[in-house]
Structure 1
């Protein structure tokens, strides 16, 4: 008889006089995948490992594969930081690193190539391999990337028609591709290297003379002739893209706001929060060219899988539109896109950065014919890892889903998409529930989203689901629940857990660990929804709570299932019908956002901490910004007390549940920053409307002479920050554009959006013999730009504002823990 007290546990904190059952028919068998529909490159490594593609999903060694890919531009990150940043990327649950090869960064003058330092593509790809990461090389030659002329060097754009089969342009492209091939020799998958894919061009929808799909065919031929040979060849598929059928596979994307748009008000509900069941093509993704004819992507939907390359991990800040994202704005996209059938989740960007020092004319700008104005240097993107490589809060929201895909992505990849019986009328229908099911036979995953950026969603009260599968109908939960505004989740149906059969659970799967005591399965609870596990009767014989309080667990038999209701934060010990035991850990959402899964002390372990955690040379590295004391919890527990380099105090704390806890303290480091006014701002002229968008354009260079200015005095020890992994100048100001100079050199810039401007002292070149000067261009009260209402000072501004509220020096502490 299963253990557990029969205490009553509220399901949602409310009683329901009426309930709503949301229904999906997922009983139709999925179409069998087709092979050979696209002509790819060499896909077998010397040791026989393969990367493949069919009409529905990617494969690895013949098995279905649903990886996570994230964009990191190597030329925008100091090469001394690559190893640690890639280790953090791996710890974030990302499998593939994609990166543009930005032509102007490598051939600034005709025939003069630069492949050293942060431009060392070969060394970057080798670093990816060292950290177990695969690589996807996006060679362009036109890449966009918010770079002048899409990365095409000025000397090319000045003399030939680009993005076409113009013979001279193709000669230059051929020479560039040959240089890339020389840098990457021996690093392709067929050679045992990590490179599995090549993207050609970007946002290509041109159909004029010497253009169109034939140009993509030409680029693929040039790439292959140069030796750029990979298992996958892709192109972007949005904004009416054109490409040759059967030669490449399109990839897709979507962003939570449109900073390239012209609205100066809050945008309407964005389609990235509405599941799509017909076209894979998103709306406006900011292509700089236009094509009025339908593109080619939908025509090949039955021949190619639904792959993503540019689901916004954040957003760029553009001069005329400066949205600020909340973490859930990005996190809610995952259940929507995966629930729409995406079988490769690719972020743009995963990691921010800065344009290479010295290239002060390389940004996209309306002055050089671009559609947008972006900062000269800064490319933070509000990405999971910022411009300095620091972890932004959104990372904790995304990592549990990445871990889920590492564990169960192969099962999800084979699942077809089934829409609900009642569909929302459109992206602006906030009343109809948004959900889908992906199923394969009697195994399924339920995807639900109740979050739309900047548009409050209603609470869904008294909800149950009825899912018709191949041979049965599953209804869940046992009693109606309330789903709060902002809630988004993935729930498993028919998921085997070892020899136990889980009919359903109202918690999100995260990962699985193998321990000497048996398998451990980790789940994440949704706020306001009690964790419920329904096991098929006969597949388990006993369930007990690890908690000493037996009232935290209730068990009932409902419709032939053993329904176990637990409490977030508790763990269950489940005995299967074959006598094997397993552990189920259900983390509260806040703890799931602190979770990493890393190799430590000879096995994979769960690590709970507010610090950024990653592995380096077999040790656990913890980085804490601003906090000299922090804690870390570990499961399974270590058998001996670890050693912590650089920690003043490492102490074991009382154990919480199954987790072993430690507290760490390092000597705090602090410096006072001097801020001295140098000059007040002069009167800012009206913002000019113009450019291709006929909207606000960035002021001319001469205008910046009216900016207010301050001298920043940074003590010499603070510049070097000994014993720290980094330190940040954190500037809070109000104005239009901030710029930071070291002597006469512009080392960083920032379009005001209300967020603190963070400058890593080890990410920019600070000459200790030169003064630091901060300038702030005034923001006019009538400036026709969009700012988030939370941070918009204009309603309180009579004429203009250029103020500095604070400049702080924030240390980033690092502790290395050895488990040997």
Structure 2
């Protein structure tokens, strides 16, 4: 994310303001937000039991969710328990909490639990009850997506083979519904005592998925019947949802629709780049952002469209990444994902829900049955047998990816400012793009209520260059006033996206606007309030206050000028120091910190040492058992900064032994510490063991009439390499990531004949956490690579397309490395 600017010195700006003339802009982007904000209507929604034993109450109106009567705008993230080892659940749930997730969601995949008729398995990695209990321990609410059809790139959408083979599904067929009733009864037993009404974390149940099927015993009648079965099974929760896209059909008032959007269509059949996606365009008249991959066809507008005025705009599947399908292997960048946030929030979304937030791996069925969606079992898509990486912010082995760092600042904003945003309504600009492929017209929106609001801007569209908006200012008409910002016009470059506040109340101080994004508010009681903002890369920071506050503004490294009823602070140098302090007589102080863009991505907020604190670190951090847990992949050096400072010297340990933690030079208001663990140089030897043979031509077929994955017999053409990693190297580490850089069609990792993981070549880095393999490392590993044919009719990003140099195919392991993952535990 970057900006090109017309730069003006702070002195020149102030001189211009004092001379009574504001800088003139070549481009003034206008929006009228002066109309009164109507009170939210009552939601047409019959909720379940919504009061917890301690009196906490959940609710909803037609605009937003409520918690104890106050507006609530949470962040939800999908994490499939049955695709992750149970030994990792607690740490991974705490990582999600640290990433700013409030609600964890998960499908219950029927065929993971009842692969054989009548024999349910809720043990180990399938222990839903323990997963929910650990979510509560981590401070997360839970939405359970009970299906029975989930999709989730699972074989038959999660419905067991023996059901699919014997009867009609996804309808009120009596035989099918009798089995669903048994499934729901089992789920209800797992959740008993864990529901909101019992003091537990389960606040919602999602029924079915991507359901737009109509006809006798189908459509709204089927969803209504599923809800009755859920209630009969004891699943009495505040919220019942269904997915709302692609013409979904449901009984109005019984459930509320949830929406989503993805930056590409890996389920598509094109072997070329797609046109610009709706996901990057603000929506003012609809909640559906394009094709989301429903596997049944709608024949009319769905209930979600006709219900949009009586249900809140909630999200469940905004892609935090994308899966790799055999025929289409889309790779997304962190900015491709994070730039969707201003668009969705600026379009009125009042629950930001992601799919997937945590990657995983498919379990193997009885007798080695493949559990993934596949054309071999009649599926529309071919997906990898084991890997369900999804390019998620948290990888299958809990590794933090760049996209998490780009998303977290928005989550921090929603945590501390979401209650203010939720009641605000969407305001449409005077001019906006007519179609998603308009790459010239500026993309922006305002949400406001009364005289307060937020400005949302997006100038990023995946794989397409957006026109720079040159010498730009925004003019926002609010009741009784018009705010023009910034005072110095800027060129908003291709790739820019941000949220800026309008008349933001900071502990009684009115911030008219800021050219920086609000991140967090830290209330320290009598000591005052610290408001943290994040600078937009390359954009000079302007903070505008009421003119009467000018004598009370203290900004030692910036300039303060008064003009036109505003006290403008300019020349702010982003960093961890106090940019501005507001000292009012008889009032507690307000301190404003404006972090750099990089620091914003390193910021997290957590309860540590009995106090809510700001934490800055380039390492992955989360809190468990009252201690700060830090993970570092590849580097044994740790550094973190904390505010407010800790009263004593914290202690550090790793793998049961003490570690040296030393105080570092403070960074602005932050207290800083450093530690360095003994570096580990992990070795892996790679030996070719079988030469690749000529691969069979890729077949066009399946219901998509596109490239289908090779048959099992075709893998006889794969080349193989043996990988030897001495287990003793890994002792004392939190994990070790095996990183395989290969080029080919499909890579598979084995221990003996047991497949551990697999990967479609795409240019995206393949990693596998070795410690979860445990005893399987007692023998050498094998990686096999099926050759990629030069004529394969699949989509690969142009950056990853290999140079075949006249060869008919390629299969090579270019390198194998082992990345040590160090962990440091810091106790206040």
Fold-level similarity (TM above 0.5):
yes
Deviation larger for 760-769 or 467-476: 760-769
Q: 1:620 matched to which residue of 2?
A: 628
Alignment of 1:175-574 (within 5 A): 175-358=182-365, 360-515=369-524, 517-539=527-549, 541-545=551-555, 550=556, 552-565=557-570, 566-569=572-575, 570-571=577-578, 572-574=580-582
Residue of 593, 600, 610 corresponding to 2:618:
610
Instruction: Tell me how far 1:657 sits from its aligned partner.
Output: 1.5
Cα distance in structure 1, aligned partners of 2:625 and 2:276: 46
Is 2:781 the partner of 1:772? yes
Distance 1:24 1:724, change over 3 A: same
- TM-score normalised by structure 2 residue count: 0.95
Q: 1:741 matched to which residue of 2?
A: 750
Listed one character per residue, the Cα deviations across residues 492-533 of structure 1 (whole Å, up to 9, x for unaligned) are 101111121111111100001123531100000101211111
- TM-score normalised by structure 1 residue count: 0.96
Instruction: Tell me how far 1:808 sits from its aligned partner.
Output: 0.7
Listed one character per residue, the Cα deviations across residues 530-580 of structure 1 (whole Å, up to 9, x for unaligned) are 1111111224632223xxxx4x41111122011111121142222235443
Kept in 2: contact 1:435–1:446 (CA 8 A)? yes
Is 2:713 the partner of 1:702? yes
SS class of match (1:220): helix
Instruction: Tell me how far 1:154 sits from its aligned partner.
Output: 0.5
Instruction: Tell me how far 1:345 sits from its aligned partner.
Output: 0.3
Kept in 1: contact 2:364–2:370 (CA 8 A)? no
Instruction: Tell me how far 1:459 sits from its aligned partner.
Output: 1.7
Listed one character per residue, the Cα deviations across residues 408-434 of structure 1 (whole Å, up to 9, x for unaligned) are 101100000001000102100010000
Listed one character per residue, the Cα deviations across residues 590-628 of structure 1 (whole Å, up to 9, x for unaligned) are 110011111222211111111100001111111000101
Q: 1:680 matched to which residue of 2?
A: 691
Deviation larger for 508-517 or 148-157: 508-517
SS class of match (1:310): strand
SS class of match (2:666): strand
Could you list the runs of 5+ residues in structure 1 that have no partner in the other structure? none
Cα distance in structure 1, aligned partners of 2:254 and 2:455: 34
Distance 1:246 1:321, change over 3 A: same
Cα distance in structure 2, aligned partners of 1:114 and 1:50: 34
Alignment of 1:634-673 (within 5 A): 634-646=642-654, 648-673=659-684
Kept in 2: contact 1:87–1:614 (CA 8 A)? yes
Distance 1:17 1:194, change over 3 A: closer
Distance 1:321 1:251, change over 3 A: same
Cα distance in structure 2, aligned partners of 1:795 and 1:518: 64
Deviation larger for 500-509 or 563-572: 563-572
Instruction: Tell me how far 1:8 sits from its aligned partner.
Output: 4.7
Instruction: Tell me how far 1:768 sits from its aligned partner.
Output: 3.5
Cα distance in structure 1, aligned partners of 2:251 and 2:806: 54
Kept in 2: contact 1:58–1:305 (CA 8 A)? yes
SS class of match (1:182): helix
Instruction: Tell me how far 1:630 sits from its aligned partner.
Output: 2.8
Cα distance in structure 2, aligned partners of 1:238 and 1:36: 19
Kept in 2: contact 1:781–1:794 (CA 8 A)? no
Kept in 2: contact 1:673–1:714 (CA 8 A)? yes
Kept in 1: contact 2:534–2:600 (CA 8 A)? yes
Cα distance in structure 1, aligned partners of 2:471 and 2:588: 37
Kept in 2: contact 1:59–1:65 (CA 8 A)? yes
Q: 1:809 matched to which residue of 2?
A: 818
SS class of match (1:541): helix
Q: 1:77 matched to which residue of 2?
A: 84
Deviation larger for 629-638 or 189-198: 629-638
Is 2:135 the partner of 1:128? yes
Residue of 589, 592, 598 corresponding to 1:590:
598
Cα distance in structure 1, aligned partners of 2:512 and 2:433: 28
SS class of match (1:294): coil
Number of residue pairs aligned between Structure 1 and Structure 2: 805
Cα distance in structure 1, aligned partners of 2:384 and 2:629: 33
Listed one character per residue, the Cα deviations across residues 219-240 of structure 1 (whole Å, up to 9, x for unaligned) are 0111111111110000001111
SS class of match (2:583): strand
Deviation larger for 216-225 or 536-545: 536-545
Cα distance in structure 1, aligned partners of 2:692 and 2:322: 29
Listed one character per residue, the Cα deviations across residues 449-478 of structure 1 (whole Å, up to 9, x for unaligned) are 010011011221111111111232211112
Cα distance in structure 2, aligned partners of 1:558 and 1:328: 37
Distance 1:715 1:10, change over 3 A: farther
Instruction: Tell me how far 1:366 sits from its aligned partner.
Output: 1.0
Instruction: Tell me how far 1:173 sits from its aligned partner.
Output: 0.0
Is 2:703 the partner of 1:692? yes
SS class of match (1:302): coil
Is 2:586 the partner of 1:581? no
SS class of match (1:592): helix
SS class of match (1:787): coil
Deviation larger for 658-667 or 31-40: 31-40
Alignment of 1:70-109 (within 5 A): 70-109=77-116
Deviation larger for 468-477 or 248-257: 468-477
Listed one character per residue, the Cα deviations across residues 210-253 of structure 1 (whole Å, up to 9, x for unaligned) are 21111001101111111111100000011111111111110000
Cα distance in structure 1, aligned partners of 2:235 and 2:37: 35
Cα distance in structure 2, aligned partners of 1:331 and 1:343: 17
Kept in 2: contact 1:360–1:377 (CA 8 A)? no
Cα distance in structure 1, aligned partners of 2:304 and 2:391: 29
Residue of 124, 129, 132 corresponding to 1:117:
124
SS class of match (2:310): coil
Distance 1:809 1:168, change over 3 A: same
Cα distance in structure 2, aligned partners of 1:93 and 1:524: 16
Distance 1:399 1:495, change over 3 A: same
Distance 1:764 1:282, change over 3 A: farther
Instruction: Tell me how far 1:725 sits from its aligned partner.
Output: 1.2
Instruction: Tell me how far 1:147 sits from its aligned partner.
Output: 0.2
Deviation larger for 482-491 or 161-170: 482-491
Please provide the CA RMSD for this pair: 1.7
SS class of match (1:291): coil
Kept in 2: contact 1:782–1:794 (CA 8 A)? no
Kept in 2: contact 1:574–1:581 (CA 8 A)? yes
